[in-house]
Amino acid sequence: MTGQSEAKSMFLAVEGVDGSGKSGVIAHLADYLASAGLPVITTREPGGTPSGEKLRALLLSGSDDAWHPMSELLLMTAARVEHVQKIILPALRTGQIIISDRFVGSTIAYQGAGRGLSEKFIRHLHAEAVGDLWPDLTIVLDIDVTVGLSRSRRRLTTEILDEGRFESIDTTFHEKIRQSFLAQAAQAPDRHVVIDASGTPEDVRKSVIAAVSAFLPHRNQP
**Beta pairing partners, 42:** 99
Q: Is 175 exposed, middle or buried (0-12, 13-18, 19+ CB in 10 A)?
A: middle
* CATH code, domain with 72: 3.40.50.300
Neighbours of 65 (CB within 10 A): 7
* Residue 206 lies inside a defined structural domain of this protein: yes
- Closest to 14 in 3D by CA, of 219, 189, 195: 195
- If pLDDT is split at 50, 70 and 90, which confidence band does 222 have? very low
Residue 1 within any structural domain of the chain: no
pLDDT (tens digit, 9 = 90+) per residue, 2-49? 444 334 799 999 999 999 999 999 999 999 999 999 999 999 999 999
On whether residue 200 sits in a domain, the answer given is: yes
Residue 81 lies in a domain: yes
Residues 64, 85, 208, 140, Cα dihedral to 10°? 40
Instruction: Please name which of 76, 97, 119 lies closest in space to residue 1, comparing C-alpha atoms.
Output: 97
Q: Is residue 87 part of a domain?
A: yes
Count of the separate structural domains present in the chain = 1
Residue 76 counted as domain residue: yes
* Phi and psi, residue 119, nearest 5°: -65, -35
Residue range(s) defining the domain that contains residue 45: 10-218
- Global confidence as pTM: 0.92
Which amino acid is located at 28 in the chain?
H
pLDDT in tens, 119-165: 999 999 999 999 989 999 999 999 999 999 899 889 888 888 888 89
